[in-house]
Amino acid sequence: MNPFDLTGKVAVVTGGGQGIGEGIAKSLSAAGASVVVAARHQDRIDRVAADIAATGGRALAVATDVTDRAALIALADAAIDTFGGLHVWVNNAGGSPVRSPLAEISEEDWDACLALNLTSVWRASVIAAERMGEGGSIINISSPAGDRGVPGSGHYAAAKAGVNSLTKTLSLELAPTVRVNGISPGYVPTEVMMTALDTDEAALEVMATKRVPLQRLGTPDDMGSTAVYLASGAGGWVTGQTIIVAGGL
């Protein structure tokens, strides 16, 4: 048997309309899973679902605001109603366009960042776990920012540190039925990262050759392969871990 095979499994990927989420959704499909692609922009998730269908996979696009509890419940139920179950949930939606010192950030921007990047992860994980049977897998997309000080993005870093803590605690509370792990991506030239760093891909490429031991930027497929490992039987004895996928950084 192929330990990475996800045939018969149903996966939900939030923030799946582009970047890392798109890479994860397509990787899970390539491993055999039926995939529900969720994000706020219907056109983006329709494109990803169509790409998956064009390769012979099964996909459903569900427009979702992950900060809305009712929308998360509807998303989980859509996966079950359409594909007959729920086995994998990837909390990928997140990011923050705001760059500001903590002493200057508005309370509204602080609250919005935590609602999107932390509260939604807790809420979605609980909703998903309630609907999963034995062998379920929740994967939280974190960030190296959660392990260090990040001037100008302290609100985002605090949220991701919270995600790392949630991953550990949920893994203990949901064991042995559901495994909970995280992925901490390094420099992947997505729209979210470009906005956060106020840079472009060319500048990131130059930085990667100087700072990243493997001397290249990451790709959404790098994150997708890691997600397949954590979702499948290959990672069946792994829980409570946040794996750094960053080329050696």
- pLDDT single digits (tens) 134-180: 999 999 999 998 999 889 989 999 999 999 999 999 999 999 999 99
- Backbone φ and ψ of 140, nearest 5°: -105, 125
Query: Which of the following is catalytic: 83, 110, 156, 187?
Result: 156
Query: Could you tell me the pLDDT band of residue 70, with boundaries at 50, 70 and 90?
Result: very high
Residue 97's pLDDT is 86
Are the C-beta atoms of residues 75 and 68 closer than 8 Å to each other?
no
Angle at 61 between CA 3 and CA 90, to 5 degrees: 45
Q: Check pLDDT > 90 for residue 59.
A: yes
Count the alpha carbons within 13 Å of 52 in the hemisphere toward its beta carbon: 29
Q: Check pLDDT > 90 for residue 200.
A: no
pTM recorded for the entire structure: 0.95
What is the residue extent of each domain of the chain? Answer: 10-242
CATH of 10-242, picked from 3.40.50.300, 3.20.20.70, 3.40.50.2300, 3.40.50.720, is 3.40.50.720
Is 187 an annotated catalytic residue? no
